[in-house]
Structure 1
Amino acid sequence: MSSVGFVMLCHTALNRAAEVARHWAERDCPVVIHVDKRVSTGAYTGLQTALSDLGNIRFSKRHKCEWGTWSLVAASQTAAEVMLEDFPDVRHVYLASGSCLPLRPVEELRDYLIARPRTDFIESVTTQDVEWTVGGLNAERFQLRFPFSWKRHRLLFDRYVEMQRAVGFRRKIPEGLVPHLGSQWWCLTRQTLSAILQDPARQIHDRYFKRVWIPDESYYQTLARLYSTRVESRSLTLSKFDFQGKPHMFYDDHLHLLRRSDCFVARKAWPQANRLYDTFLGPDHTGSQMAEPAPGKIDRVFAKAQERRTRGRAGLYMHSRFPNQDWENGKTCARYSVFQGFKDLFEDFEPWLSRRLGVRVHGNLFDPVRARFAGGADVYAGCLPASAKLRDYNPQMFLTSLIWNTRGERQIFQLSPRDNQKIGWFLSSDSNVQISAITGAWAVPLFLSNRNFSEIRKEAAMMQKREVEFVNTLRSVKTRADVRIWSLAEFIEEPMENLQSILDAMDGPSAPRLTEAPRMANLDGFGRFLQNLKNQGMKPFVMGDFPATSTETHENPGGSRPYLVQK
């Protein structure tokens, strides 16, 4: 009666493998089990004892199996030979693992295969047509030799590959073979499988594939093309892989997805997924009445889950992506603005901007003493501390946390060459930030201070150096931020127009026109101050042109709007 037999490759969770093997054997499907030689003798003997009452179960010669090596092919060959010899009624041989779980009644699989007596179900594609491998070698796996284990001897593996590439080594592929790749979980007809195993050229084929990398993904996939009269390049086993090429594990909460797939077998089921095993191995389980296996039904769900894992939500960092630079989906989650130099030039810039926009405006968040949150808060949204020590442990994460914790409210803060400069590169690479900078404005507080000139000169040199480095970063071709830069001289020529352009970029073209500007610092004598710096050996140039005697700036005594007076 039997038309399909199962070859099982087991190495762990033998209790679950025993359940599945019994499920198939009790429904007149022969099972040949290969158990990894690394499994203890006690565990192996226990599995044999647990299934000893079933006359259609066999155990094949054991091989010590390791991922990516010939041993996995040898294990399947040995078990398949037992299947073909001991069970002549088997017309299809289905390769499964010990972690595979039947999803549909065996009767449906048997009827499905009887209706397709000469069809081999094995994913088989050429390396030229589809490059489906993830993070590994593609065509080179057939052209080079791989005598070393990738897992146990990674250094030797890599060095040997590099050496072969350097000398231009290429293996000769046996005549008549066109290398193919595909899933290692197949269902082959007796005719095709016996032709592969009994081929007079098998010794040649085996010798060649023993030095191919991951031969269980290419041996049967290549040789089936020589002998099969009809290849369906797909697997009847549902096997999903993540973006790193690692197989997905199915848990109890995947029950409805597995039902929707209409596949006959799923790999791999979590050994503790009691609900899955109880449901699909239970006596009351019904199938899909000859429905065609359709793993594509759940592809969208897995694709969405993979995108969430690899890209996530914009500006949200999590353990699956955080250790890898540039894996984030956007540096931050929302638009925000940074002003450099405005607080130095205008006496009441922060309260003015807060009134104008109707939002809270922070001071210098990266001040070396503490984070200057709006209102002088010691702790801000999401329990972000004002502590400079905690903030500077990871300035980038401090900023991204602030933007994430305040979603829906535009964050605005001040920046200065006096602040922690480690945030500069991050800001320049963030497409969400609008940066407005007045170069040289840091000199205004120095000009208005009552300090020794030698101290002023030393600090001015340091500030200018820092600002030049920051501006060069902002002007890099890799910058993604929305950047506006003026020299101090350029900005004070048209302060209202320049402020209006910044606010238009924040509020859009419908933003109302400015009727007042923040009060500008009195710059009378600023040109002479810069000349004195030059005379003392420091060359200030980021401020623009401030003649020592010709042009000075005054405050309007009748209001807060600044204007220029020519002397």
Structure 2
Amino acid sequence: MTVGFVMLCHTALDRAAQVAQHWAERGCPVVIHVDRRVSKGLFAKLQADLAPLKNIRFCGRHACEWGTWGIVAASQEGATVMLREFPEVRHVYLASGSCLPLRPVEELVAYLDERPKTDFIESVTTEDVGWTVGGLDFERFTLRFPFSWRKQRVLFDIYVWLQRQVRFRRRIPADVVPHLGSQWWCLTRRTLSAILEHPERSTIDTYFQKVWIPDESYFQTLVRQVSSTVESRSLTLSKFDFQGKPHIFYDDHLQLLRRSDCFVARKIWPEADKLYAAFLSNDRTRQAAAEPNPGKIDRLFAKAVERRTKGRPGLYMQSRLPNENWENGRTAGPYSVFSGFSDVFENFEIWLSKAGGTRVHGHLFSPDRVHYAGGETVYNGAMSDSAALRDYDPKNFLTSLIWNTRGERQCFQFGPHDNQKLNWFMAMDANAQISVISGAWAVPLFHSNRNFGEIRVEAARLQKIEQEYLNIIRSAYAKSRVRIWSLAEFVENPMEPLQTIIDEIGPRQGRRLTEAPRMADLVGFGQFLQNLRNQGMQPVLMGDFPVGDDPKPKSTRRGRPYLVK
């Protein structure tokens, strides 16, 4: 007794001929079904190429469009010819023209000889299936699907919608319990004969002709009625991505395929010369017989799917760029945003760079240009300082900057004068550390020599912008680490918040600050705020600055410690 192969072919017929010849020359009968849509010339050439092999047959042809009954009809046609023409066949193995044997035929025959009554077919109930894509699991058995999902998508969707609206339900034939699974099976002669000679076959076939993707349910359902021993697994290695599309194996998958220990794999790229040469060779190095175990490579495929769908943190690839929230982390690493610090302190960027040992930029989103650290005009990754280029896509500007400087923490200044389009993005980024001295934008206005009427108007505008910014970073949806001090609160004791910031930027450094950067002169600032109130503008973000009693910051220099005996 031996195993026979039914091959469903529709493209790359030269490769299908190689595989069929490989099986036939080793004593395994082959029945080939060629899609009816293939030209007569190509079909005739395939017949002529395989004519010398007496254990190869061709069966009647059907149009095999994905998701339609034609694939089942082709499988029935090929199986019928196999059972009729080759009585010595005990197991029938369904394969495609893009399949490739991974192990010697002798090992497959020996494996099946040890299990003469076992049917290998993935067959699970709809409740246990988690891999259906498109939302049609049990509905594929209760609705009608007369239209092609690929060629008549609009009609397909409309007809499904109409059936749902009128609550249409098809009657499932008696004794039929729908099951799903891979279409690539290996069934015994007894089981396959019972399915093809089923007394209710005409009724069952009529029902399944309007089921969606019947090749994943027809044999999988009927085998449960007629088989005594079912192993719900396929002997064929076939992997699918998150969209339900099959993975294609190329030459560089050679070692991966060998590790699976499966007997057959699909889908093989027709141009994979190395794979066909290795697995169809007569002098292949025999490997120890092992149980087929595609699980050996499942972890690798899982990682590949995760990398394809989520990518690397902070890297926006073309495949995910149009899809919001498909990124695996908004940015590639932690960064710090400082609002108001450069207004309160002189040369704050230089001081922070020395104290924190990190890269500190100016206002990256300033209206005039991008103020990179050191006054650079072109930064890592050939990033220009052009405000127009930056504002074309501010999100990608920031994510590219963080990606291009991985391994080095980036810090930059941000205020109400800057482009505000990224407020929500930064607030919802877990990598962002946002420190705000609210109302600090008033200090430059206080030192300006502008007309006070203009100052009042500008102060009202900036306060409104900063208030919206504060509302965003205080939102319940914010994921960034946020610290907010009012200006009055900060200048009373600047050392403590500065130490907190330095500790967070470089937690391993353990540096204790001995002095703060030079603070701007705030003498008369309380009266300035009162003048704004007198002019009809209410400053609310600066905190309590009493008129005539200017806040005096504590000393920014720590004295040397000494020991008292």
Partner Cα separation in structure 2 for residue 40 and residue 538 of structure 1: 82
- How big is the alpha-carbon RMSD for the aligned residues of Structure 1 and Structure 2? 2.0
Q: What residue number does 2:453 align with? A: 454
Partner Cα separation in structure 2 for residue 392 and residue 318 of structure 1: 20
Per-residue CA deviations over 1:479-521 (Å, capped at 9, x if unaligned) read 1111111222222232222222222222338733322112222
Per-residue CA deviations over 1:271-298 (Å, capped at 9, x if unaligned) read 0000110111111124435321111122
CA contact under 8 A between 1:102 and 1:280: conserved in structure 2? Answer: yes
Partner Cα separation in structure 2 for residue 523 and residue 140 of structure 1: 73
Instruction: Give the CA deviation at 1:467.
Output: 1.4
| Matched letter for residue 350 of structure 2 | P
Q: What residue number does 2:437 align with? A: 438
Q: What residue number does 2:17 align with? A: 18
Q: What residue number does 2:502 align with? A: 503
Partner Cα separation in structure 2 for residue 487 and residue 145 of structure 1: 66
Q: What residue number does 1:223 align with? A: 222
Q: Which runs of 5+ in 1 are unaligned?
A: 563-567
Q: What residue number does 1:325 align with? A: 324
Q: What residue number does 2:108 align with? A: 109
Aligned-partner SS, 2:422: helix
Q: What residue number does 1:565 align with? A: none
Q: TM-score, normalised by structure 2?
A: 0.94
Partner Cα separation in structure 2 for residue 138 and residue 477 of structure 1: 37
1:126/1:488 CA distance change after superposition, 3 Å: same
Partner Cα separation in structure 1 for residue 163 and residue 525 of structure 2: 69
Q: What residue number does 2:131 align with? A: 132
Partner Cα separation in structure 2 for residue 261 and residue 463 of structure 1: 64
1:539/1:159 CA distance change after superposition, 3 Å: farther
1:521/1:133 CA distance change after superposition, 3 Å: same
1:555/1:131 CA distance change after superposition, 3 Å: closer
Aligned-partner SS, 2:421: helix
Q: What residue number does 1:350 align with? A: 349
Aligned-partner SS, 2:207: helix
CA contact under 8 A between 1:521 and 1:555: conserved in structure 2? Answer: no
Partner Cα separation in structure 2 for residue 535 and residue 327 of structure 1: 51
Moved runs in structure 1, 4+ residues, more than 4 A?
559-562
Aligned-partner SS, 1:185: coil
Instruction: Give the CA deviation at 1:561.
Output: 6.1
CA contact under 8 A between 2:337 and 2:433: conserved in structure 1? Answer: yes
Q: Which runs of 5+ in 2 are unaligned?
A: 559-565
CA contact under 8 A between 1:373 and 1:386: conserved in structure 2? Answer: yes
Instruction: Give the CA deviation at 1:32.
Output: 1.3
Aligned-partner SS, 1:552: coil
Aligned-partner SS, 2:398: helix
Q: Does structure 1 residue 386 correspond to structure 2 residue 420?
A: no
Aligned-partner SS, 1:91: strand
Partner Cα separation in structure 2 for residue 523 and residue 274 of structure 1: 78
The farther-off stretch of 62-71 and 525-534 is: 525-534
Partner Cα separation in structure 2 for residue 107 and residue 199 of structure 1: 32
Q: What residue number does 1:257 align with? A: 256
| Matched letter for residue 53 of structure 1 | P
Q: What residue number does 1:158 align with? A: 157
CA contact under 8 A between 2:147 and 2:156: conserved in structure 1? Answer: yes
| Matched letter for residue 551 of structure 1 | D
Partner Cα separation in structure 2 for residue 115 and residue 409 of structure 1: 61
Aligned-partner SS, 1:382: coil
The farther-off stretch of 97-106 and 23-32 is: 23-32
1:484/1:54 CA distance change after superposition, 3 Å: same
Partner Cα separation in structure 2 for residue 278 and residue 105 of structure 1: 14
CA contact under 8 A between 2:19 and 2:280: conserved in structure 1? Answer: yes
Partner Cα separation in structure 2 for residue 481 and residue 5 of structure 1: 62
Partner Cα separation in structure 1 for residue 327 and residue 429 of structure 2: 11
Per-residue CA deviations over 1:6-29 (Å, capped at 9, x if unaligned) read 111111111101111111112221
Aligned-partner SS, 2:425: helix
CA contact under 8 A between 2:35 and 2:63: conserved in structure 1? Answer: yes
Percent identity over the alignment is 67
1:534-545 alignment, distance < 5 Å: 534-545=533-544
Q: What residue number does 1:42 align with? A: 41
Instruction: Give the CA deviation at 1:408.
Output: 2.0
Q: Choose from 533, 549, 552 the match for 1:551.
A: 549
1:484-503 alignment, distance < 5 Å: 484-503=483-502
Partner Cα separation in structure 2 for residue 170 and residue 532 of structure 1: 77
1:46/1:479 CA distance change after superposition, 3 Å: same
Q: What residue number does 2:178 align with? A: 179
